[in-house]
DNA sequence: TCTGGGGTCCTAGGACCC
DNA sequence: TCTGGGGTCCTAGGACCC
């Protein structure tokens, strides 16, 4: 039997939070984002969207389109607090909830909705209660899979309710532009359009014919897409709390720089932030990554594996600095970042140590590996010398 | 005055081992 | 004179999402 999965998406969440604090903003064009160098629109009110403002747009450009817009830098503590209120509200309806981001979640409501006659009415009540008690507006998608629920919640905004039944998949998905498909972004969409795939319907047709060109274009993702587009795929709502696999911070400079010491200064601050956050979350990581963005927007990623996981500031900063030194070659840089990767819980690692009685497995492994490599090298060169001796002897007729 | 910052996942190539 | 194939680990880069 199919499940009943909801995708709940808060409408212009950041803007709505600001409106709750300052109601005079209601009905006005509001932009959340920075107006300084490199500032872009994070999100904006529907009033601003009427002028062509959208997220990702440089703020100065948005202000050209909509000079009366009110620009707010963003209050993330407020958003985070309201987000928690939202998730707690949803939990009153079903405990099977998966946070997808700060302002959206999947909910398994199979049990709650199976015997409900008027699902739309039920969900309208949900929306109204959320608005009355927390002050937030949302759009809801209802479907047998997570993918379809996600697509559905996107169809009517704000305060929309959209139900996609499996038998209606073709009818409801096929007319949509290919770029609206979750997982097909601004690189893949133009490639598909170039081979005549303009809508989800076009893609569905070729996928169901097992078209080789399409198959090659997607790699592993192809089989996922084939399920999704036909109304199958994951309906497992993952209740595990989010557990970060990496912690990173980056910053765009006030002006581009190619100066080692200047950039190293930024790395110091970023490394400190990363270290502090990792400590606060009880995480240690075994990879340090340096990210540079050049003035022509090329991304450079360099990383190094440590022989034991850490969240120590000095170690992170040192490793990042070494990577910077190796990779900075006169290029003008506009952004740098530091990320600690392959995170595990520090407490887990301590347990591991105590099991082996302070025996450091990684050090031991590395030492053994180095030794074996050295032996291999020697063996090879000895073999080679002997062979050349033999050749020499042959040549001289001895 | 061009294009943020936080992430996740996948792929591909090279080094190395057996 | 010719030159494997499977598997793992590490690194770099790219696509995508919010």
Q: Which bases of strand C sit closer than 7 A to a protein CB?
A: 9-18
Assign residue A67 a region (left: φ > 0; alpha: ψ between -120 and 50; beta: otherwise).
alpha
**What element of type H or E holds A247?**
strand A246-257
Q: For the segment A11-56, what is each residue's pLDDT rounded down to a tens digit?
A: 999 999 999 999 999 999 999 999 888 899 999 999 999 999 999 9
Sheet holding A41-44, edge to edge: A41-44, A30-33, A70-72
Q: For the segment A208-248, what is each residue's pLDDT rounded down to a tens digit?
A: 999 999 998 898 899 999 999 999 999 999 999 999 999 99
CA of A151 vs C1' of C1, distance in Å? 61
Strand C proximal to A185 Cβ, under 7 A = yes
CA of A184 vs C1' of C15, distance in Å? 9
Cα–Cα distance measured from residue A49 to residue A155, given in angstroms and rounded to the nearest whole number: 17
Q: For the segment A113-161, what is each residue's pLDDT rounded down to a tens digit?
A: 999 999 999 999 999 999 999 999 999 999 999 999 999 999 999 999 9
Q: Which bases of strand B sit closer than 7 A to a protein CB?
A: 1-12, 16-18
Strand B proximal to A252 Cβ, under 7 A = yes
Alpha carbon separation from A349 to A22, A137, A221, A271, A340 (Å, rounded): 47, 43, 34, 22, 16
Q: For the segment A363-378, what is each residue's pLDDT rounded down to a tens digit?
A: 555 555 545 444 444 4
Residue A112: how many CA atoms within 13 Å on its side-chain side? Answer: 17
Strand B proximal to A160 Cβ, under 7 A = no
Cα–Cα distance measured from residue A108 to residue A350, given in angstroms and rounded to the nearest whole number: 37
pLDDT at res. A354 = 53
Strand C proximal to A100 Cβ, under 7 A = yes
Residue with CA nearest C11 C1'?
A303
CATH number, span A246-395 = 3.30.1490.100
Structure tokens at A261: 């010491």
Cα–Cα distance measured from residue A146 to residue A112, given in angstroms and rounded to the nearest whole number: 17
> Mean pLDDT for chain A?
90
Strand C proximal to A163 Cβ, under 7 A = no
pTM above 0.75, yes or no: yes
Whether the predicted pLDDT of A384 surpasses 60: no
Q: Where are the domains of chain A?
A: 1-164, 166-234, 246-395
Cα–Cα distance measured from residue A130 to residue A117, given in angstroms and rounded to the nearest whole number: 21
pLDDT at res. A37 = 84
Residue with CA nearest B11 C1'?
A219
What is the CATH architecture assignment of A1-164? Answer: 2-Layer Sandwich (3.30)
- Residues A200-213, mean pLDDT to the nearest whole number: 96
CATH number, span A166-234 = 1.10.150.20
Strand C proximal to A221 Cβ, under 7 A = no
């Amino acid at each position: 039997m199919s499940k009943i999965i909801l995708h709940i998406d808060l409408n212009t969440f950041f803007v709505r939070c600001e409106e709750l604090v300052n109601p005079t903003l209601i009905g006005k064009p509001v932009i959340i984002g920075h107006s300084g160098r490199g500032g872009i629109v994070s999100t904006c009110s529907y009033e601003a969207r009427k002028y062509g403002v959208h997220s990702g747009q440089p703020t100065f450009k948005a202000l050209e389109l909509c000079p009366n817009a009110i620009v707010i830098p963003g209050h993330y503590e407020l958003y985070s607090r309201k987000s928690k209120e939202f998730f707690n509200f949803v939990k009153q309806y079903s405990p099977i909830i998966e946070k997808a981001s700060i302002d959206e979640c999947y909910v398994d409501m199979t049990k709650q909705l199976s015997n409900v006659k008027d699902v739309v009415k039920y969900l309208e009540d949900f929306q109204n209660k959320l608005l009355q008690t927390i002050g937030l507006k949302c759009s809801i998608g209802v479907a047998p899979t997570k993918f379809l629920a996600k697509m559905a919640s996107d169809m009517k905004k704000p305060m929309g309710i959209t139900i996609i039944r499996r038998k209606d998949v073709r009818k409801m998905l096929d007319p949509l532009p290919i770029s609206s498909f979750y997982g097909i972004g601004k690189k893949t969409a133009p490639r598909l359009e170039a081979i005549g795939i303009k809508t989800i319907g076009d893609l569905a047709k070729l996928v169901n014919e097992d078209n080789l060109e399409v198959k090659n274009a997607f790699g592993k993702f192809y089989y996922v897409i084939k399920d999704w587009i036909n109304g199958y795929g994951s309906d497992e709502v993952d209740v595990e709390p989010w557990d970060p696999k990496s912690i990173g911070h980056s910053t765009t400079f006030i002006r581009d720089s190619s100066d080692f010491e200047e950039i190293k200064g930024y790395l110091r601050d970023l490394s400190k932030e990363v270290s502090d956050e990792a400590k606060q979350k009880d995480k240690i990581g075994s990879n340090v990554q340096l990210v540079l963005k050049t003035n022509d927007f090329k991304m450079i990623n360099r990383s190094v594996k440590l022989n034991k996981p850490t969240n120590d500031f000095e170690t992170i900063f040192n490793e990042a600095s070494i990577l910077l030194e190796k990779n900075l070659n006169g290029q003008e840089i506009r952004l740098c970042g530091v990320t600690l990767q392959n995170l595990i819980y520090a407490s887990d690692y301590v347990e591991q140590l105590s099991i082996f009685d302070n025996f450091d497995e990684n050090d031991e492994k590395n030492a053994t590996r180095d030794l074996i490599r050295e032996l291999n090298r020697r063996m090879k060169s000895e073999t080679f010398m002997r062979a050349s001796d033999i050749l020499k002897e042959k040549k001289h007729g001895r």
